[in-house]
Structure 1
Amino acid sequence: MALWLESDRMGFLLSTVTQEAFINQQDVVQNEKRQSYDNRPYGQTRYVIDKLLYPPSHPYNWQVIGSMEDLSNASLKDVHDFHEKWYIPNNATLVVAGDFDLKQAKEWIEKYFGEIQRGKDVTDMKPVPVTLSETKRAYHEDNFAKSPELNMVFPTVEQYNKDSYALDLMGSLISDGKKAPLYKVIVEEEKLAPSVSAYQNSGEIAGSFKIRVRAFPKKKLSDVEKAIKKAFKMFEEKKFTEKDLDRIKAKTETRFYNGISSILGKSFQLAFYDEFAGSPDFISQDLQNKLNVTSGDIWRVYNKYIKDKNFVLTSFVPKGEVELAAENSELFPIKEESITKAQKNIAKNNGFKVEKIPTKFDRSIEPKKGPDPVLKNLDIWQTKLSNGIKVNGIKNSELPLVQFSITLRGGMVLDDPKKIGAANLMTDIMMEGTKNKTPLELEEAIDELGSSISMYTTKEAIVLNGNCLASKFNETFSLAKEILLEPRWDKKEFERIKKETIEIINRQSFNPSAIASNVFNKLVYGKDNILSNSTLGTKESVKSTSVEDLKNYYAKNFSPSVTSINVVGDVSENNAISVFKELENWQAKTVDFPELKMPEAHEKATLCFVDFPNAKQSQIRIGNLGLAFNDLDYYKAVVMNYKLGGSFNGILNMILREEKGYTYGARSGFYGTEYPGKFTASSAVRSNTTLESVKIFRDEIKKYREGISDEDMEFTKHALIKSNARRFETLGALLRMLNQISRYELPTDYIKRQEKIIKSMTTEEHKALAQQYLHPDRMYYLVVGDAATQFGPLKKLGFDEVYLLDKDGNIVK
């Protein structure tokens, strides 16, 4: 089936790329540009950098997605010409990976791909590195940014060049970790930004070394530039040790294995190596090239590409704060799209005629499907430690890796309502050292193993994740135990973390998507329900939280009685259990959970609008309170929603994206946890299609209540069941499955049970579920967009209630 589809795409697609189809996709790609670049903070950064770094004749001078002018002026013939020049057999690599019959696969490849005509010869591009005769400095006023951002970019070399490996490791040495000069100067000493990154970005024909600093509000980027140069001087004077380099290499090796953990990942990587490195066998050489980098290589590339060399410097500053731009920067003009009345693109045809491509057999006939893939029975082992900690595990020895998680039920729901965000601060501060290790010592101990350990907070849990080479599992878990049971409560790091968290909250307040999600939560749950909050808390709650608050949270809520451990990878059950028994001295206690009062069912169709002046897109959220994960109807509702908006082929996406071209994507779904979640239908649409999009959402949800066809029911069943074959192939996916089992006390065969629900669902049951749980006349309709042009028309749609809200969800009077 896959070979039939992909061969058709390569050899015979152009027969179907008509003027009508082209115009539709032209709209879709323009919406992708708005969503990914034009309507988000710092979205134009890459565009400005590449225009300054590469000359007009260089392929990297322009963006892959193009400009709005490019997209509008493109013709049908342009698309056909591009496909015929590049999307051809003699410019492609086909990789088949997984469980298949080799002889049969070769026969099918010959059948489906063999007749596709070879194109004109394609000559591999030679490296075209660039140099700068002078430093270029530019600034841009960003409509969406809350904080200033500086990028310093040096031209370097292409991928797989020997120097690219040294530059890659140099980026980590200079920016990654508390010992790194850029971090030490910019974050710790000068307190200019919450973080800093530096990395080598290698393309096929050229590359660059980029330093990015997104500063705190009101910080001058001239000071950031000076701090970078101060960090360079520190790097030269204090240097780095062989032990530092070995730590970076150890992390690189672990990341490499994680990168090829899936069948799809393996196939992509093999194809990529074949196309750009000359052979799929380069997969082993690539890792070795990184491990072979010496200290001498690091200093050589630093002196060759960075030290005293010209660079591109960009300053992206909030609108009206030009004084924050780095000194001597010139305005870089960016043409912005204006909000106009919606109109259909009229693509240029110029009399171009689409010809039918001849084939030796009828390609419209779908190949006979093989048997449905059967989800293999997973050998899940389970046990419980003497203090009550539940443990689940799966052994998987394909790669020398182990992943584990330690989960404590609670998270944000156990926060003091006046100190929302405390649990989130808890997981940040616990990664900053232990009783017997400074923050730097802990970081280095993890890095020396090539491992990663992280903690995060959700609304219902606190999670510690570990990822390591199998040979380092014992040592890695020992560090995880130390983090969990011996927190340091470092006050210096705590103040830094609070400042960083407040900055994240500030930035989200200027992100239309984040605003939509936060306000929608408040509408659905009500402001008095703790679930309406972000796990980050508010600026006020974070400022008021002290280390003593965190100690109190830890003392009350950290206990084996709410803890589970899950582990997957190249480790035996006996070995894992013997390691986990280190936690049996941890004494259990009762943790009290609050009773959360859920709001009454919403009984009206309510329009809420949040003004985001001059937004090129409108963020739409539609829905109401839904079901908890353990509700008997929850998974049935998930299945019921699938054809509406649970996939790319869902009705909402097919209309709003494929038919109308209003958006890059539209989805809907039920999202439940221990507590009732939300039913949400969402999209980001072109501003001047907001009215039409909201109407489509409302009308299609209403229409969906009338039932679906037998054909759509069969499509849903096939899609959901067949996707399980690849759903659990990586360690990360297996770990998530175990987390589900322990979190919701599910049977180990719960996936099989879900498949039975899918198989047994009838169109009658589907209709009954839709009528029970989809009520478009009782939903919140939230829009975040340009009120001046969009709010007025929406008010005429006949909603029961209409409100203009601020970015915190308060009614604007």
Structure 2
Amino acid sequence: ATGIAHYLEHMLFKGTENMGTLNYPKEKEVLDKITATYEKRFSETDPAKRLEYQKQINKLSVEASQYAVPNEIDAIYSSLGSRGLNAYTDSEETVYVVDLPKNRLEQWAKVESERFAKPVFRLFQPELETVYEEKNRTLDNKERLLNEAVEKSLFKVHPYGTQTTLGTVEHLKNPSLSKMYEFYKKYYVPNNMAIFLSGDLDIQQAKEIVTKYFSPWQKKEVAKYEVPQEKPLIGIEKTSVNYKGEEKVVIAFRTVNYKSEDKKALTLIDMLLSNGQAGLIDHDLVYSQKVRSASSYPNFDDDYGAMYFYGIPKTGQTLEQVQELLLAEVEKIKKGQFDESIIPGIIKSLEIGQKSQLESNDGRVGLMKSSFLRDVPLEEVMSFSNQLKSVSKADIINVANKYFGKNYIVAYRYDKDYSFPKIDKPGLEKMKLNTNQKSKFATSVLDINPAPIAPKWVDYNKDFKVDSYAPGVLYYYTKNPLNDIFTLNINYEYGSKHNKDLCYVMDELNNAGVDGMTPEQLKDQLFKMGINISYSCSDYGFSANISGLDSEFEKGVSIAEKILWNAKLNNTHLKEKVKNIIASRVDSKKDLSTLRSALSQYVTYGDKSGYIDRMKNTDLENLSVNEYPEMKNQLAKQNFKLYYSGQLPMQEVENIVKKYHQPQNITVPLLNPIKRPQDIIMTRHNKPVKIYFLNYKGAQAHINLLIPGKQVNPEERLINGLYNEYFDGGMGAILFQEVREARALAYSTSGRYNLAGRLGDQDQMSGYIGTQADKTIEALKLFIDLLKSPPESEQRFERAKSALDNSYRTNYINFRSVAGTVQSWGELGFDKDPRPQFFNQLPQAKFEDVKSFIKNKIASKNLTFMIVGDQTKINMTDLKKIGDVEMVDIETIFKN
């Protein structure tokens, strides 16, 4: 059976003999019957008998649920103020994560040591159906479809290719609880597990806590894994998949595992080919626009590795032609036709990346995790970029010729209909939810009361500085306390709504030459310096963005300014880009995520949707870089804002920037740009329920919700936060519990009331349920019920309140985000950190306040739903009984 590791990951959230249960002896009697019935069903081949066993399992599951406290582990962690409780399974790891306040470490240890030592696989049937929904999501994922086909060809006997993380559809339909327990006993043993902690910790205290709670675990031998031996690939093996949308080719060469010495040269080869700036593929294929897009990436696992190259064709180009272009770049490496002077830039890029990774707890844990999983010292992981300095050009050529020969896999994804495997809806009864009760174990955890953490608010006099760079120009400075990586943003309130051609033409600055250098030469120079320069544009803004090491700050600013004001733009390049934009517009009409976005924008904003109110293809074709001189002149007459984060002194930064970026000597802008209008949602109907339906062939139906609100009132921030926590604040909240835990109608759900980010803009309630298409009616009815009359629970409200309290105490604003956050508060009328105000109001908040919020903001409002799904799998007659249905076609939501 495949997919067991992933199943088990889900079941490790269900509790133990002590956690997640109200009466385990009684519950166990029923759970044992469920396990026995599953084993009978697992061995049975007669469809009628299998169906009868399934009915017995459903009945027993409902009986067992009366003793269960669903997702109690999440309820505990929410009460502790933790965030991000989650897990994931990959080919060689299953990882469980949570972010928690530092004063809750002992409670975490108490929960986790219990969780993994004594798991009970309760509520298995609804969780199984949740995994079905997760599988449905992958069936709607064209990238995953292609990647699985590649791996299947690349690894014919190793699990890398013979099975997927989620398992096959057939195996999903026929699970075995006993096999899952066997897997748990085999692999979930102390000497096959590790704990990674990162944060503001007392290291000695942390060691003592971990020792106290985890040392009782008994060491067990882990069976040695016998690595399946792959036969060498012979010749070029081709495979293909069909999926509507853009076509794609992937080329894969089998290489080496993580510990191989050749990994170093292969890493450099990948970066020599594709690093986003100065690789051979970047220059020869992407910048020159010989393909729509292309790149490479390596993968080094415990047993084997591979190097992958992929490309997306232009209009009229075949996948085979893209394949040949990619292989031609690989040949250049094999022949030594590359500039080895770029290698120090590659090493510097990796060093900067690691410094950035060390800025966050997630990044630090990731490095420790690599050390454990790959069984290499942490020092070796940390010093990998330095080790690359010993690799010579001859080494690179030898390794390239060793692995990139005539034996490889080629996979094509064609723009054709895909036949979705069918997973039948099993007809599960609703589970009983004891959400207002808790186990004795949970009580014992929550009774531990450590000293609370004092909140840390943004101090406008210490955490950042703001100065007048010039009349009308503000300069925000934030000190980087961790490393020597700087970021500088120069932001203008000037965009495509002021000049419709601006974003398309000024985007060419990202592909410009300057000072006699070609674009390729300029990108090479910047890459060697470790400097990244980009220019971005939106409806009402334009930005120059620079990052790198402080030691290169002045050079970076100098070059960025030269590009901004004296760029050499290539009109042929712009014309080719336009062709790719037009081709992408055609493909986007077949792309699920784009269709969902376009339908949502159409319903929300009507003709102001970004997919409708956009430049016509004919106007795109008339664009010219000859517009650049006038555009930069217009930009020069605008005021701007400066944002710097780094370690250079504030005055030194200002002096350097002024040396190259002279502000206009004026007190007001010479050109007054159009201000961004208020964000107002279109009023489309006065029906209690209105459904806009877009037909799309897929495994799932995607249900999005919209309830327009009023203009934002920042003083409602506290009650808004409490409602969101109460309704959708994790696995113990209403939406997850009722939709996923009790009925297994979806894998992914969301529902939040979103306060607008600027005075005058309009709030909105948004939500989402992704469900198997034949469950659409049931899911939609439930969604409406939960919005109009959600279950009332004082205990759940208190959990939400506790979670919000801990959030205020522990959610510090990262130094790189301080200036932007202060700006966003200013947009709402706050001239200081508003959080202390709401934190102080929180103890007085009552459940009645949330109930009043629901009544006035949600339950009394008309509901708008947008559904993208296959109408042949949905009972459209029943859908029309729920609300007024309007069919929407693709040409309505896309224009130009």
Q: Give your verdict on TM over 0.5.
A: yes
Equivalent position to 1:368, from 430, 449, 458: 449
CA contact (8 A) 1:668 1:680 kept: yes
| Cα distance in 2 between the residues matched to 1:101 and 1:409 | 46
Partner of 2:342: 244
Equivalent position to 1:470, from 537, 541, 550: 550
With normalisation by structure 2, the TM-score equals: 0.78
Q: Does 1:275 align with 2:373?
A: yes
Give me the identity figure in percent: 17
Change in 2 beyond 3 A, CA 1:794/1:291: farther
Per-residue deviation, residues 692-747 of structure 1 (Å, max 9, x unmatched):
1211221111124x9x5443343333323434566446555446535535766753
Partner of 2:352: 254
Opposite residue 223 of structure 1, the aligned amino acid is Q
Partner of 1:86: 187
Change in 2 beyond 3 A, CA 1:361/1:514: closer
CA contact (8 A) 2:721 2:804 kept: no
Partner of 2:767: 681
SS at match of 1:797: helix
CA contact (8 A) 1:263 1:729 kept: no
Alpha-carbon distance, 1:460 to partner: 4.5
Opposite residue 18 of structure 1, the aligned amino acid is F
Partner of 1:325: none
Alpha-carbon distance, 1:245 to partner: 1.7
Q: Does 1:696 align with 2:775?
A: no
Give the CA RMSD over aligned residues: 3.5
Q: Does 1:33 align with 2:116?
A: no
Partner of 1:353: none
Q: Does 1:309 align with 2:399?
A: no
Per-residue deviation, residues 747-787 of structure 1 (Å, max 9, x unmatched):
35244445446555433333333333225741311100001
| Cα distance in 2 between the residues matched to 1:159 and 1:10 | 31
Change in 2 beyond 3 A, CA 1:136/1:639: same
- Matching of residues 633-782 of structure 1 within 5 Å: 633=716, 636-645=719-728, 647-669=730-752, 670=754, 672-674=756-758, 675-676=761-762, 678-704=764-790, 709-723=793-807, 727-728=811-812, 730=814, 732-734=816-818, 736-737=820-821, 740=824, 746-753=830-837, 755-756=839-840, 758=842, 761-775=845-859, 777-782=861-866
Opposite residue 42 of structure 1, the aligned amino acid is E
Q: Does 1:53 align with 2:150?
A: no
Alpha-carbon distance, 1:300 to partner: 1.8
| Cα distance in 2 between the residues matched to 1:565 and 1:635 | 31
CA contact (8 A) 1:628 1:673 kept: no
Q: Does 1:519 align with 2:605?
A: no
Q: Does 1:397 align with 2:453?
A: no
Partner of 1:323: none
Alpha-carbon distance, 1:651 to partner: 2.0
CA contact (8 A) 1:621 1:680 kept: yes
Change in 2 beyond 3 A, CA 1:407/1:640: farther
Alpha-carbon distance, 1:280 to partner: 2.6
Structure 1: stretches of 5+ with no match in the other structure: 321-333, 347-358, 417-421
Equivalent position to 1:590, from 657, 671, 688: 671
Per-residue deviation, residues 569-621 of structure 1 (Å, max 9, x unmatched):
33332333333334652324333316747356453345334444431011111
Partner of 2:698: 615
- Matching of residues 169-188 of structure 1 within 5 Å: 169-176=268-275, 180-187=279-286
Equivalent position to 1:406, from 490, 503, 509: 490
* Aligned pairs, number: 770
SS at match of 2:521: helix
Alpha-carbon distance, 1:389 to partner: 2.2
Equivalent position to 1:442, from 515, 522, 531: 522
Per-residue deviation, residues 75-117 of structure 1 (Å, max 9, x unmatched):
2222222222222221122232222223332222122212223
Opposite residue 155 of structure 1, the aligned amino acid is R
Per-residue deviation, residues 418-449 of structure 1 (Å, max 9, x unmatched):
xxxx4542452221225535322332232122
CA contact (8 A) 1:185 1:230 kept: no
| Cα distance in 2 between the residues matched to 1:300 and 1:380 | 52
CA contact (8 A) 1:392 1:742 kept: no
Per-residue deviation, residues 38-77 of structure 1 (Å, max 9, x unmatched):
1032331121111111122444432222222222222222
Partner of 2:205: 104
- Matching of residues 189-204 of structure 1 within 5 Å: 191-204=289-302
Query: Could you tell which deviates more after superposition, 112-121 or 620-629?
Result: 620-629
Per-residue deviation, residues 346-396 of structure 1 (Å, max 9, x unmatched):
9xxxxxxxxxxxx99996665334413522655211112114221222212
Q: Does 1:430 align with 2:509?
A: yes
Change in 2 beyond 3 A, CA 1:677/1:431: farther
CA contact (8 A) 1:141 1:319 kept: yes
Change in 2 beyond 3 A, CA 1:235/1:611: same
Opposite residue 607 of structure 1, the aligned amino acid is K
Change in 2 beyond 3 A, CA 1:467/1:634: same
Change in 2 beyond 3 A, CA 1:546/1:338: farther
Alpha-carbon distance, 1:646 to partner: 5.0
Partner of 1:166: 265
CA contact (8 A) 2:540 2:676 kept: no
Change in 2 beyond 3 A, CA 1:795/1:198: same
Change in 2 beyond 3 A, CA 1:197/1:3: farther
Query: Could you tell which deviates more after superposition, 631-640 or 713-722?
Result: 631-640
CA contact (8 A) 1:388 1:560 kept: no
Partner of 1:156: 255
| Cα distance in 2 between the residues matched to 1:499 and 1:691 | 42
Alpha-carbon distance, 1:273 to partner: 0.9
Opposite residue 316 of structure 1, the aligned amino acid is R
Alpha-carbon distance, 1:643 to partner: 2.2
CA contact (8 A) 1:96 1:267 kept: yes
| Cα distance in 2 between the residues matched to 1:108 and 1:405 | 44
Partner of 1:215: 313
Q: Does 1:23 align with 2:103?
A: no
| Cα distance in 1 between the residues matched to 2:520 and 2:649 | 32
Opposite residue 620 of structure 1, the aligned amino acid is I
Partner of 2:59: none
- Matching of residues 414-425 of structure 1 within 5 Å: 414=498, 416=500, 422-425=501-504
Per-residue deviation, residues 310-331 of structure 1 (Å, max 9, x unmatched):
00011110116xxxxxxxxxxx
SS at match of 2:356: helix
Change in 2 beyond 3 A, CA 1:50/1:512: same
Equivalent position to 2:535, from 441, 455, 466: 455
Equivalent position to 1:479, from 559, 562, 565: 559
Alpha-carbon distance, 1:119 to partner: 3.0
Opposite residue 390 of structure 1, the aligned amino acid is L
Opposite residue 429 of structure 1, the aligned amino acid is E
Equivalent position to 2:644, from 546, 564, 567: 567
Alpha-carbon distance, 1:335 to partner: 7.5
Partner of 1:604: 687
Opposite residue 17 of structure 1, the aligned amino acid is V
Change in 2 beyond 3 A, CA 1:286/1:229: closer
